[in-house]
Amino acid sequence: MAEIKFSIKYTGGKADEHKLDLYDAGASIHGLAKALAISTHALITEGEVRSKGDSIPNVKFYLHPPQKGSFVELVSVFFENTAVQVVGASVITAAFWDMIAYTWKSAVGKEYQPKERIPKEISTKNELFTQEIANVLERPLQQLHRPILHNHDVKIEIRRPRIGKIIEFDNDTLNYVYSKNEVGIQENISGNVTKYNILSGYGRFYDDEEGRTIPFNLSNDLSVRMKELLTWSLHNTVRDNNGKILLDAEVISDNLDNIKRYIIVGVKNYVEN
């Protein structure tokens, strides 16, 4: 068995008066619990991305009485032997923190390269892992940011004992994690697929107009023929007009109107004018 403890610290705004709005605090802790479950499950299954942040086998999460400070809560993660054996007793603490930093920083638009064995192997095995897990972490992390949504002076720190701050959430990370779709469906987006996992439906698309690759996932009702065109584009980037295709997609942007991802609803052949 293994136990890992950490604190979540809120500063700024009402937190400096040792209090938070009850609804905001409750939503934030709820989001924390779900985000912990998603990332920890990925660690102990060596890369499986689950869509729900509810309880997971062989790991328990506990909230302890608050500590002194602006507004500080103590959290512990209790790994049962089955989970410890997967990760390794001597490295489970380091692997846990590496996975939290890797997945949560990726989900709020920050760069992080994993250092421990399991997170590194997951990254190598599935190039689209961070994209997949960021998508399911989005809602829990929105909830975790709830106090910042109503007061942009608030900051939230995840702190490791004797090490200090592992990750900080603030107004910048809030603007990234909160998504919107204000343009509806954009048609005839030209470019080519650069990465695509036919099992998960996640991938990356080089958008000619944007001049960069954009993450994508698929709508539930995309036809088999359209999925085949995505695969064709991926495998024909060096011939046949660079594998160009046209997408119809929902455009998901952050609060600053930067495109975060496409949800593809249609795919068709590219026709030169």
Q: State how far Cα 249 lies from the chain centre.
A: 21
pLDDT band at 273 (very low <50, low <70, confident <90, very high): low
Residues in the chain: 273
CA 186, 191, 194, 198 torsion-angle sign: positive
| Integer angstrom CA distances of residue 258 from 40, 184, 242, 261 | 29, 15, 26, 9
| Integer angstrom CA distances of residue 180 from 10, 82, 203, 208, 257 | 26, 40, 20, 22, 8
76 has pLDDT over 60? yes
> Picking from 93-107, 185-199, 225-239, 247-261, which range would have the lowest pLDDT averaged per residue?
225-239
Please report the domains of the chain, with CATH numbers, ordered by start residue. 2-177 (no CATH), 179-269 (2.40.50.140)
Q: What is the structure's pLDDT at 69?
A: 64
From CA 137, how far away is CA 39, in angstroms rounded?
A: 8
Mean pLDDT of the chain: 93
Mean pLDDT of 11-23: 92
What tokens were used for 48? 């499986």
Mean pLDDT of 106-124: 96
Q: What is the structure's pLDDT at 251?
A: 95
Q: What is the structure's pLDDT at 240?
A: 58
Which pTM was predicted?
Answer: 0.91
> Picking from 46-60, 131-145, 244-258, which range would have the lowest pLDDT averaged per residue?
46-60
68 has pLDDT over 80? no
From CA 118, how far away is CA 42, in angstroms rounded?
A: 10
pLDDT band at 1 (very low <50, low <70, confident <90, very high): confident
230 has pLDDT over 60? yes
159-200: pLDDT as tens digits: 999 999 999 999 999 999 998 887 789 999 999 999 999 999
What tokens were used for 33? 């619990």
From CA 76, how far away is CA 37, in angstroms rounded?
A: 12
Mean pLDDT of 124-136: 96
Q: What is the structure's pLDDT at 229?
A: 96
Asked if 145 contacts 156 with a C-beta cutoff of 8 angstroms, the reply is yes
66 has pLDDT over 90? no
Contacts of 36 (CB under 8 A, 6+ apart): 53, 61, 75, 77, 100
Q: What is the structure's pLDDT at 51?
A: 83
From CA 53, how far away is CA 75, in angstroms rounded?
A: 16
Phi, psi of 183 (to 5 degrees): -100, -5
Which of residues 247 and 269 earns the better pLDDT score?
Answer: 247
pLDDT band at 58 (very low <50, low <70, confident <90, very high): very high
Contacts of 217 (CB under 8 A, 6+ apart): 135, 200, 201, 202, 203, 261, 262, 263, 264
- DSSP for the chain, written as a single string: -EEEEEEEEEESGGGGGT---HHHHHHHHHHHHHHHHHHHHHHHTTSPPPS--S-BTTEEEEEEEEETTTTEEEEEEEE-HHHHHHH-TTTHHHHHHHHHHHHHHHHTT------SHHHHHHHHH-TTHHHHHHHHHHHHHHHHTHHHHH-TT-EEEEEETTTEEEEEE-HHHHHHHSEE--S-EEEEEEEEEEEE-TTT--EEEEETTTTEEEEEEE-TT--HHHHHHHHHHHHTTTSTGGG-EEEEEEEEEETT--EEEEEEEEEEE----
